[in-house]
């Protein structure tokens, strides 16, 4: 079988779909090659993610990766969220086909872009090296 049960479950029943009005951080990333676009909205209370929503335009793997990533960061402290990797998303989904691994990379990048947006909006200092792949030309 091409896709794991977990991938199929998160594709058919994605968690945390939607928009957070007045989100504390918003990250939008896209992959020009496949046309996938992911947007992650974060609500942050204190030093943790109190709510997270996503909108993804893309394939089933992109939707499943977004859904799983939001589940993995909800309720977590920001420090832990910064450590989210696409590898962890793929493992949590019980794997993705090699040609779909970029979908999990997009999920990681969208989460990090949303965190960077939050830090920038609130003038919170951070190490730019923590966001090597986040080009914020698309940040609002």
Comparing CA positions, the residue from 23, 30, 19, 26 lying closest to residue 133 is: 30
Question: DSSP string of 72-92?
Answer: HHTT-BHHHHHT--HHHHHHH
CA quadruple 17, 93, 27, 43: dihedral sign: positive
34 counts as catalytic: yes
Residues in the chain: 140
In a 3-state reduction of DSSP, which class is residue 136? Answer: helix
User: CA-to-CA distance for 60 and 136, rounded, in angstroms?
Assistant: 26
139 counts as catalytic: no
Do residues 55 and 33 make contact, with C-beta atoms less than 8 angstroms apart? no
Do residues 136 and 117 make contact, with C-beta atoms less than 8 angstroms apart? yes
- Catalytic residues, which ones? 34, 103
């Amino acid at each position: 079988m091409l896709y794991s049960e977990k991938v199929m479950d998160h594709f058919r029943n994605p968690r945390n779909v939607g928009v957070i009005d007045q989100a504390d951080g918003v990250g939008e990333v896209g992959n020009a090659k496949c046309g996938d676009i992911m947007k992650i909205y974060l609500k942050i209370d204190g030093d943790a993610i109190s709510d997270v929503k996503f909108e993804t335009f893309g394939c089933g793997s992109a939707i499943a990766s977004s859904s799983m990533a939001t589940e993995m960061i909800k309720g977590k402290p920001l420090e832990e969220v910064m450590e989210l990797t696409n590898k962890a998303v793929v493992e949590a989904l019980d794997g993705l086909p090699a040609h779909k691994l970029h979908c999990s990379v997009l999920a990681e990048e969208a989460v990090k872009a949303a965190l960077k947006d939050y830090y920038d909006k609130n003038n919170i200092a951070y190490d730019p090296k923590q966001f090597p792949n986040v080009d914020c030309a698309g940040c609002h």
